[in-house]
Amino acid sequence: MPTYLDPKNDVPFKKIFVEHKDLMMSFLNSLLPLPDDCEIIDLEYEPAEILPENPMSKDSFVDVKCFDEKGRHFIVEMQMYWKKELLPKQIFGYREWGIGSGENDHTTHPTPYTPNYGLAILNDVMNKNHTHYYHRYRMTEETHSEEKINGIDITLIELPLFKPSLDGHQKMKDLWIEFLKEIGEQTKEETISQALKENKIISKALDLCREYAYTEEERAAYDKVHEGIIFRAMELSESRAEGELAGEVRGKKEAQLAIARNLKSQGVAVSVIVAATGLSVDEIKAL
């Protein structure tokens, strides 16, 4: 039996971040690009059922209404993805939780809508050109990047690209990311960094990941979610393989046609082009 369960799985995720508001507030305050005067001091979850009953159908998500030090509120839509293929075309479907006079907005140019922050944790690399794990996306005017539409702010974290600092002075953001990346069923007690063990907040989260902290029903739910993740990964892998094969076939056909056009333009006999490209006589004549 493993010593720890994976916090990215829905069941430990809920136990850590939903059942313990102090851990969620620490997590969000550490990872979100909030203004200096916007530390979260309270939050509430919406809707009541925030995690999917069927792990085969959708990915874990949490909608949180946050309250800052000045009494203003804003929305965080948090999602935990296991593969980049699970990211929809639009990462977050922003909803309007409330309309005010602009007093709730902590951006430079207030709007009458409640600000929305998105936070996506990806256990994969979204773009092969990325070298850093932390990405922030905002809406800006194409030719004047200083002009921004405030109220929508998305943070994407690619766990595989994160490398823990070895200087012993990690920020809470780094500790939380290290926790999500490193803790799982293969984790051994002796391999957990002292930085994680010595931090009171992270130490509490570690205890909530321990296998003995779960009932038989919770462990069964954990295994069901894990099976769902494997099933989804297999589906995605098969779909990607089919797509790659189709792409190879299209690429080969396009190359054959390009060669045929070139040979035909030089007056090469059709019979020679057929032998060189494998295309039919009719396909060559149609060029």
Percent of the chain whose pLDDT exceeds 90: 28
Domain end residue (candidates: 191, 214, 237): 214
pLDDT confidence of residue 198? 93
Residues 280 and 169 in one domain: no
Distance of CA 46 to the CA centre of its chain: 20
pLDDT for 286 equals: 83
Instruction: Give 270's pLDDT tier (boundaries 50, 70, 90).
Output: confident
Q: What is the pLDDT of residue 144?
A: 85
Three-class DSSP category at 113: strand
Residue 133's pLDDT band, with cuts at 50, 70 and 90, is very high
Q: Residues 182, 270: one domain?
A: no
Do residues 159 and 123 make contact, with C-beta atoms less than 8 angstroms apart?
yes
Asked, for residue 277, whether it belongs to a domain, the answer is: yes
The answer on 74 and 16 residing in a single domain is: yes
Instruction: Give the Cα separation of 18 and 98 in Å (integer).
Output: 22
236 and 96 housed in the same domain: no
Q: How confident is the model at residue 168 (pLDDT cuts 50, 70, 90)?
A: low
Q: Which of 50-59, 78-87, 193-202, 241-250 has the highest mean pLDDT?
A: 193-202
**Residue 122 sits in the same domain as residue 247:** no
In sequence order, the 6+-apart residues with CB closer than 8 A to the CB of 249 are: none
Give the pLDDT confidence of 6-49 residue by residue, as tens digits: 998 888 998 999 899 999 999 999 999 888 888 999 998 876 54
Kindly state whether residues 175 and 229 are assigned to the same domain: no
Do 196 and 113 fall into the same domain? yes
Cα–Cα distance between 77 and 80 in angstroms, integer? 10
- Output the pLDDT for position 236: 57
pLDDT of residue 230: 64
Strand locations in 46-133 (E): 61-68, 73-81, 116-122
In this structure, the answer to whether residues 210 and 79 fall within a common structural domain is: yes
CA separation, residue 45 to residues 21, 22, 97, 121, 209 (Å): 10, 13, 12, 19, 21
**Integer Cα distance of 1 and 208 in angstroms:** 16
Are 187 and 81 within one domain?
A: yes
Report the percentage of the chain scoring pLDDT > 70. Answer: 70
CA end-to-end span of the chain, whole Å?
65
Contact indicator for 185, 61 with CB cutoff of 8 Å: no
Neighbours of 167 (CB within 10 A): 7
Residue 116 resides in a domain? yes
pLDDT, mean of residues 86-93: 53
Residue 3 located in a structural domain: no
CA distances from 13 to 51, 97, 213, 245 (A): 9, 24, 13, 37
Give the domain-ending residue among 196, 214, 232.
214
Same domain, 64 and 108: yes
What one-character DSSP code corresponds to residue 160? Answer: G
Q: Clarify whether residues 123 and 255 are in a common domain.
A: no
Residue 1 within any structural domain of the chain = no
Q: Domains in the chain: how many in total?
A: 2
Residue 93 lies in a domain: yes
24 domain-assigned = yes
- Of the residues 214, 235, 261, which one is the last residue of a structural domain? 214
Give a yes or no: residue 47 inside a domain.
Answer: yes
Residue showing tokens 């007690």:
189
Residue 4 near residue 183 (C-beta atoms within 8 A): yes
pLDDT at 49: 46
Q: How many Å apart are CA 78 and CA 156, to the nearest integer?
A: 10
4 belongs to a structural domain: no
The Cα 146–Cα 140 span in angstroms is 7
Q: State pLDDT tens for residues 95-130.
A: 444 433 344 444 443 444 567 788 888 888 888 888
| SS3 state of residue 58 | coil
Strands (E) in the chain, as ranges, are 40-45, 61-68, 73-81, 116-122, 134-140, 148-158
Q: What are the structure tokens assigned to 226, written together?
A: 């894990």
User: In this structure, are 196 and 235 located in the same domain?
Assistant: no
Range of the domain at 263: 216-287
